[in-house]
Amino acid sequence: MNQLPTLSDEQLLLCFQSGDKHAYELIYERYWAILFRHAQKILQDEEEAKDVVQEVFTIFWIKAESLLPTQPIAAFLYTATRNKVLDHLKHCKVKTKYLVALRLMMEQQSPPADEHIIEKELARQIEQEIEFLSPRMKEIFKLSREQHKSYKEISKQLEISDKTVKKQISNALHLLKGKFQLFFSLF
CATH of 4-88, one of 3.50.50.60, 1.10.1740.10, 1.10.3470.10, 3.20.20.70: 1.10.1740.10
Asked if 182 and 129 count as a contact pair (C-beta separation under 8 A), the reply is no
What pLDDT, in 10s, does the model give residues 50-94?
999 999 999 999 888 888 877 889 999 999 999 999 988 888 777
Least confident of 38-42, 64-68, 105-109, 162-166: 105-109
Q: Does domain 116-186 have CATH number 1.10.10.10?
A: yes
Q: Give the span between the Cα atoms of 102 and 108, in whole angstroms.
A: 10
Asked if 32 and 57 count as a contact pair (C-beta separation under 8 A), the reply is yes
Looking at the chain, the domain(s) classified CATH 1.10.10.10 span 116-186
pLDDT > 90 fraction of the chain, expressed in percent and rounded: 30
Looking at the chain, the domain(s) classified CATH 1.10.1740.10 span 4-88
Mean pLDDT of 29-41: 94
Q: Give the span between the Cα atoms of 15 and 27, in whole angstroms.
A: 11
Does the pTM surpass 0.85? The reply is no
Q: Give the span between the Cα atoms of 115 and 161, in whole angstroms.
A: 39
Q: DSSP character for 19?
A: T
